[in-house]
Structure 1
Amino acid sequence: MCGVVNLKSDDTCTDCGEILSRKSVTTDEYQSIKVGQVLDRSWQLFWEYPGLCLLGPLLANILFACFAGLLLGVFLLACMGLASVMPEGPLMVLSVALVGLILVIVTLHGAAFCELGKVILFLKVARDHQPVMGDLFAGRPFVGRMVLCTILFQGLIFFANLIFALLGYVLALMFWPYPYLLVDRNLPGVDAFGKSVDVTKGNLLTLFLIFLSLFGLVLLGVAALFGISFLLVYSLELPFEAVLGGAILLSLPATVFFYSYVLLVKAVAYAQITHSR
């Protein structure tokens, strides 16, 4: 063993090429984490891999946006084609609904593929495990299970929010690691969703404080942006339109940075809980 931490789904060590035993990289024992350690480690790793952290999720989201746009175009073309060959009526409505359902299923699979790519990339960054941009395209074996787990997760949160909004937030804290468990342990079916509770149950308060800290960082950034804009408009008497345009331009890189950092924080939290720092 060379000492490099590998994903359970890896058959060989990415560092030395050694064939791995599943037992050598798997543990069901979880440890407590600390807010400062997670945020500090995330900050350190972010600046060790700034290109991957910033460009990886940006590329994945752009590719998914293009994919979704392509599917929308296909749907519109299909609707126009059906309208040209079929009379209006229940059969027409049923045909359009069927095409729409098929494209929704395809969209869910595309979204799962892109999300899995980000999870794999940032989990390797969190473990300092030789991440590469190609990891964005390594999620294909998990796509079907990811779709099922995501439907369960989103459905659970939706119905919980109908009952009480805070309940939805608590359940989100309990079940959020399911994509990481899926790619890390290669669990069958929806086991990753069910077992995610085991990962978080001893760290719910810490996870709450971590995400609360990130939310506070967002508020601080927004307040700073509004404060600077107010100063430029009312103190220096600059045109409001110019200041607004500048604020929007500044918010774009800030959004990319924060989104990437949140993804890394989640991966680092999972890695530390599962003893794989």
Structure 2
Amino acid sequence: MDGVLVVKVGGAAGVDATGVCADVAALVHAGRRVVLVHGGSATVNSLADRLGVPQRHLTSASGVTTRHTDAGTLEVLQLALLGQVRPAVLGALGERGVRAVGLSGLDAGLLRAERRTAIRALVDGKRVLVRDDHSGRITSVAGTLLDLLLDNGVTPVISPPAIAEDGRPVNVNADRVAAAVAAELKADTLVFLTAAPGLLRDPGDPASLLSTCALTGDSAATVTGGMSVKLIGAREALQSGVRTVLIADGRADSPVSRALDGAGTRITLA
């Protein structure tokens, strides 16, 4: 039997979560041990708009952009991920005969994180400290819980938030969650599915797809948008012993299988 496969399905508009679930189901029925990690940025944005909760993003000095998670956004994020995205994913897997269980980082302390007391960000070209952000850095993953589920034929479906030292929830990036889960489980392969063919040399040109990308110390800093966080997660996973990390198109048919067969971009360490 192949080792653990961790799949992170992005929440950007255009990513076909139902198609991902169909492909995951086929892999599970073929005997593959799969952990599915999901985000839900488009759903969070849509729900926030409907509820009138303003959204804001923060950009670090290195160019990495993250969601500003104030108290209102943290509530919206939990409603969106745990109340909308997760039930849809579990339903799609269940329809295809997969025994799956949805877990946030709060469940049984699955994801523990260190709360950030302040975030350094660039606002109007000035460096400022943002102190009302409810986000954190993952410090541990309860791998024994995930192993127990996998050993009993259950597919874990994981999402933020995580639980901080004070017992309260904090937002954590789903790409970093997937990387931490893959590292903890000593996964063979980590696949990031996104709304792009893979890593592009020119973000505006799909034909500029890179088949491989060897990460150097500043690789993530040269990439904009959400892809930079994927590269950070890829580096963390590879440095922790994950053998293969792929970034591929979540809009394609059978996206996970296509990625495993060579579509998208394979990330390596330089």
TM-score by length of 2: 0.29
Q: Which has the higher contact order (CA 8 A, sep 6+)?
A: 1
More helix by share: 1
Structure number with larger C-alpha Rg: 1
- TM-score norm. by structure 1 comes to 0.29
Greater strand fraction, Structure 1 or Structure 2: 2
